[in-house]
Amino acid sequence: MANRKNRSKAPLGQTATDTANMVSNAHAEAFTFGDPIPVMDRRELFDYLECVQVDRWYEPPISMDGLARTYRAAVHHSSAIQVKRNILTSTFIPHRWLSKQAFSRFAQDFLVFGNAYLEKRMNRLGQIMELRASLAKYTRRGIDPDTYWFAQYGYNSQPYQFDEGSVFHLMEPDVNQELYGMPEYLSAIPSALLNESATLFRRKYYLNGSHAGFIMYMSDPAADQKDVDNIREALKKSKGPGNFRNLFMYSPNGKKDGIQIIPLSEVAAKDEFLNIKNVSRDDMLAAHRVPPQLMGIIPTNTGGFGDVEKAARVFVRNELIPLQKQFQELNSWLGENVIRFEAYTLDENDN
């Protein structure tokens, strides 16, 4: 009788001989997948990218549309750019040719795209009437010297050529070509996209309700079918948002592991969300070199981030003043001091 109980049953349609052959053919196997890829491999291809000639202008070596989409991909990325733009705009002294709003657009384009353009508009007497910022996303450098085009791709849009010598081009120097600038934060784009992907995944994960899923595994022989039906009915009544309740279960002479709660979400959807957010945030802050207390980040340590006024002064001296000097290159191009800045101060009397 004991041998009959311990005898294993073969699946339907499978003989004992087939089972024995499968057991005899079973063996340990080790394999690998994915060839190792060096960190520096294929990265140098970016250095060979040229500014491709399209029609009568050159295309930038990197997608301007991609940089525009990346601008709002992560909150720490866009916030760092906006802090620099706001401080620059607040210290800018308006000129009769260049308004504060036009300078704000000019500065934002330079911080986002590494390129910024100002069009010199003349009146009928040949005098400068105003300096208008041209969108860096669509402005292209012409093949002929000192020519620029506005090439906005669309169904009815036509490329427009600016008057020769009427466009001032401010760019962040690149090491591979001299036609277009490249933004400083280029190395932090993967971190910004990773931060965005983690946030979108967590949002979908929460909306799907996976954070509340579990399996109730019951193997207690002391429980009868009536107890199982009662538990099932109690769980059904606890459905709905905010209606999860505690359940009381009494099982005399039951086993220690007779009832187990296995959380599905904790096992299947553990994605290290906070670690991804924190590490990618640090990468973006390092690329922009903006103190976290100026961006409204709440410190997680007991000591905090330190004196915010000292951090602001160091930030302005090391980052904003060099940017102001770059923008003042326009003065040499025009031969007049159009871009001027006030001294950055922290007035204690401001409310």
- d(CA 342, CA 351) in angstroms, rounded, equals 20
Question: Average pLDDT, stretch 62-73?
Answer: 92
The total number of residues written for the chain in this structure: 351
Judged by phi (left if over 0) then psi (alpha if -120 to 50, else beta), residue 31 lies in: beta
In this prediction, residue 268 has a pLDDT band, given cuts at 50, 70 and 90, of very low
Q: Is the pTM for the entire model greater than 0.85? A: no
Using DSSP, state whether 216 is helix, strand or coil.
Answer: strand
Question: Average pLDDT, stretch 321-326?
Answer: 95
Would you say residue 95 has pLDDT above 80?
A: yes
Cα 237 to the chain's mean position, in Å?
A: 41
The predicted-structure confidence for 197-253, as pLDDT tens digits, reads as follows 988 888 877 776 655 566 777 777 666 777 778 777 777 766 555 455 566 666 676
**146-184: b (≥16 Cβ within 10 Å) or e:** ebbbbbeeeeeeeeeebeeeebbbbbbebeebebbbbbe
Indicate the domain borders of the chain.
50-187+289-351
